[in-house]
Chains A and B, each alone.
Chain A
């Protein structure tokens, strides 16, 4: 059942699996509690049960059922916590060794992509900046892409649904995250923090392509030497 957009990142699958794990717990809990809610409506409706029984529920032998249910809930909760912990570590903590470094800068209302110049280091004079509405971030397939997220003005949020990746971009701080995309294609980048009038137009692309195509694109950028804006 394909309710997610198709996943193209290495850690995306774990998030989908996590969803289905939680869904299993939730489905069971939902069915059980629905039964607890609906069954008495028939069994104990005033027609079938003209006289109610006096149960305060403060006796152990009654309240223990609530306790049992809560313990089960707590247990499943911590199973979920355990299951998710690995993926969280992968995505949010220190990124792996970078094959490709890029800078991604948010501004009202598009994403700016900064490729390190020939020296391969970001934030130097020879960086190549692609700053256009609807421009694309070109990345090679199956490589660890480590990117620095920054914002020029207000809070934005970098959302690449196909990679199951989202990260708010607060002005005044640099966030270093990574992904590794495993499927060639062109995917939407959107901004999920309301950032002004054209928030809904703040859409760029990630283009995942084979290594040599990517190389060709970068070389063309260097020759054209991009448009230097925004960065100092």
Chain B
């Protein structure tokens, strides 16, 4: 059938579509909506922190219970319902088939189901705000026994317990994890089996590599947590004692189960965004990515290490001191591959010819901010200083300096970079630059000063510091106010982005096929790519980052164009890098 003249009903085209592009868009839009929710929660409790007791515009008075619930849900939403869908699912769905030169995912139906399960999970989470007792307020780590209905939960009322904020949040997270697992299986199978002719493993763009590595990390680390979530759920609704020390359970087990997933999760969020960096940097430096293969090896090393460092979140939880030293060493070791990746990205700039377009700005901002986030990680990786810094604003600031650039700068870079490809229209550059600079400064205004609050001993998840003499003095009160005002500016700034999306979709004229002169395969397809992506399957002749190759007339060679020094001996190239996989094929 002809993919272009082929007609579909609204439902099968935009809602229950199995087309990877539509599903990717759905994930992105869902992520943006949830980011709105999470941002609003952040606004409410930031306001409460700076002006305690005051009634909050657009909300009203915030009591301690709702403060806890909001802080918890802000964390949950930003990690599981913004970071994961936007970076992993959205980018994975949009980019993988296009970048490896195929028509769609391996299992399109599974792909669609995964989105709708994710949607359901979001609905469950939001609904938990409206059940009696409100949403769960025990921190996004959900440490039992607090999350297991406390210590008196011997025989709870089943339905009351089932429709409590805690159970609903556990269910929502479980559904979300299932959706992401389905997506991950899809990514891996697609990338392994459906690559275009000549797309050998070491001709795959970094972002595809990283999304797949992230999916593997996710899949292998999430299992114990799923099991543990079942146990926690039964503690809530049936009154079992899996985590109840009074009945032989042990809360420490949950801490391990949670962080065994919770730490690799950080890399699941980080790797796709790093992939975006790796795609954008060479395009605007007009220079091959520095150390393409080593970067992939470093990422694989970090993937292995990432499941060996989880307990550095529990240094003060009373774990075995020798284990703490071990995990401290592991934490320090895992800083090495990521430092290597970032240095390679920076090295890509040297000797380039740098264009400061909007995506490039976001990428440079990402690197700059993540520098602060990563380096402050050194303080926390040291288990001794963590005794003091744990659960203070130093930690909060540290992970906002890592996760905010990661999730939002990474996402915005991707949007400004690939928007022309998936809509055929270009975003407004002026608004884009304004959006970037305001976000950049507002973010630093929000968080930088809070490092000092943290070092002054200000601890987390407190709705009212009036009792704590250490932080109830200048300059820390002023710092709080500065942070809140900047946070409000930061949130308002994002409306520039939405407005930019809107007018660009409505007003802008059809963009050209390849506005940035990028060499990867997705720019070969029409923009927007039709159902089925490519007119004919492209054939790949060389790596993804062939810019300013000496002796070529163009300053970039698309992957499907044969350069002067490419040998087109496909069969040879195809299997040169294959591991023993190809040696042990079916007899």
The residues of A with any CB-CB pair to B shorter than 8 Å are 3-5, 14-15, 18-19, 22-23, 25-26, 29-30, 33-34, 36-37, 40-41, 44-46, 49-58, 62-63, 65-66, 69-70, 73-74, 77-78, 80-81, 84-85, 87-89, 91-93, 152-155, 157, 159, 161-162, 164-173, 175, 188, 190, 192-201, 203
**B250 proximal to A (CB < 8 A):** yes
User: Contact: A154 with B146, CB < 8 Å?
Assistant: yes
The total number of A-B Cβ pairs within 8 Å is 286
A171 to B241 alpha-carbon distance, docked (Å): 13
User: Contact: A175 with B318, CB < 8 Å?
Assistant: yes
Q: A37-B368, A170-B251 are known contacts. Are A44 and B351 too (CB-CB below 8 A)?
A: yes
Question: In the assembled complex, which residues on chain A have CB atoms less than 8 Å from the CB atom of B463?
Answer: 200
Q: In the assembled complex, how far is the CB of residue A158 from the closest CB belonging to chain B, in whole angstroms?
A: 9
Q: Tell which of A30, A63, A78, A192 touches B294, judged by Cβ atoms closer than 8 Å.
A: A63
* Interface CB pairs A-B, < 8 A, 28: A5-B470, A15-B388, A22-B382, A37-B371, A49-B354, A52-B287, A52-B555, A56-B292, A57-B294, A57-B344, A66-B347, A73-B336, A74-B332, A74-B336, A81-B329, A87-B384, A152-B151, A153-B145, A159-B459, A161-B456, A171-B245, A171-B246, A171-B251, A192-B460, A194-B71, A194-B72, A194-B137, A197-B64
**B419 proximal to A (CB < 8 A):** no
Knowing that A3-B452, A46-B355, A193-B139 are A-B contacts, what are 20 other residue pairs whose CB atoms are under 8 Å apart, sorted by A's residue number? Answer: A19-B379, A25-B378, A29-B375, A33-B346, A37-B349, A37-B368, A40-B350, A52-B548, A54-B550, A70-B336, A74-B336, A80-B332, A88-B321, A154-B146, A159-B391, A161-B470, A162-B457, A171-B251, A193-B391, A199-B64
Name the residue on A nearest B355 (C-beta).
Answer: A46
A23 to B455 alpha-carbon distance, docked (Å): 13
Which of A25, A30, A74, A88 is most buried by chain B, counting CB atoms within 10 A of its CB? A88
**B68 proximal to A (CB < 8 A):** yes
**B286 proximal to A (CB < 8 A):** yes
Which of A40, A157, A193 is most buried by chain B, counting CB atoms within 10 A of its CB? A193
Q: Tell which of B245, B290, B342 touches A172, judged by Cβ atoms closer than 8 Å.
A: B245
User: Contact: B455 with A3, CB < 8 Å?
Assistant: yes
Which of A50, A80, A91, A167 is most buried by chain B, counting CB atoms within 10 A of its CB? A80
User: Contact: A4 with B456, CB < 8 Å?
Assistant: yes
B329-356 residues with Cβ-Cβ distance < 8 A to A are 329, 332, 335-336, 339-340, 342-344, 346-356
A123 to B555 alpha-carbon distance, docked (Å): 79
Question: In the assembled complex, which residues on chain A have CB atoms less than 8 Å from the CB atom of B342?
Answer: 33
User: Contact: A4 with B293, CB < 8 Å?
Assistant: no
Q: Tell which of B143, B245, B285, B468 touches A190, judged by Cβ atoms closer than 8 Å.
A: B468
Q: A37-B364, A154-B146 are known contacts. Are A52 and B384 too (CB-CB below 8 A)?
A: no
User: Contact: B351 with A53, CB < 8 Å?
Assistant: yes
The 0/1 profile, CB within 8 Å of A marked 1, for residues 228-265 of chain B is 00000000000000000110011110000000000000
User: Contact: B151 with A171, CB < 8 Å?
Assistant: yes
B403-457 residues with Cβ-Cβ distance < 8 A to A are 452, 455-457
Name the residue on A nearest B546 (C-beta).
Answer: A54
Question: In the assembled complex, which residues on chain A have CB atoms less than 8 Å from the CB atom of B139?
Answer: 193-194
Q: Tell which of B249, B352, B381 touches A52, judged by Cβ atoms closer than 8 Å.
A: B352
Name the residue on B nearest A158 (C-beta).
Answer: B316
Name the residue on A nearest B455 (C-beta).
Answer: A3
A43 to B287 alpha-carbon distance, docked (Å): 15
Question: In the assembled complex, which residues on chain A have CB atoms less than 8 Å from the CB atom of B354?
Answer: 40-41, 44-46, 49
Q: Tell which of B335, B343, B465 touches A77, judged by Cβ atoms closer than 8 Å.
A: B335
Q: Tell which of B249, B291, B350, B390 touches A192, judged by Cβ atoms closer than 8 Å.
A: B390
Question: In the assembled complex, which residues on chain A have CB atoms less than 8 Å from the CB atom of B379?
Answer: 19, 22-23, 26
User: Contact: A55 with B288, CB < 8 Å?
Assistant: yes
B: number of interface residues (CB 8 Å): 96
The residues of B with any CB-CB pair to A shorter than 8 Å are 64-65, 68, 71-72, 137-139, 143, 145-146, 150-151, 245-246, 249-252, 285-294, 314, 316-318, 321, 324-325, 328-329, 332, 335-336, 339-340, 342-344, 346-356, 364, 367-368, 371-372, 375-376, 378-379, 381-385, 387-388, 390-392, 452, 455-457, 459-465, 467-470, 547-550, 555
Q: In the assembled complex, how far is the CB of residue A79 from the closest CB belonging to chain B, in whole angstroms?
A: 11
Name the residue on B nearest A175 (C-beta).
Answer: B318
A16 to B139 alpha-carbon distance, docked (Å): 28
Question: In the assembled complex, which residues on chain A have CB atoms less than 8 Å from the CB atom of B356?
Answer: 41, 45
6 A-B pairs with the lowest CB-CB distances in the bound complex, closest first? A172-B245, A161-B457, A57-B290, A84-B384, A57-B291, A192-B391
Q: In the assembled complex, how far is the CB of residue A48 from the closest CB belonging to chain B, in whole angstroms?
A: 9
Name the residue on B nearest A74 (C-beta).
Answer: B336
User: Contact: B288 with A54, CB < 8 Å?
Assistant: yes
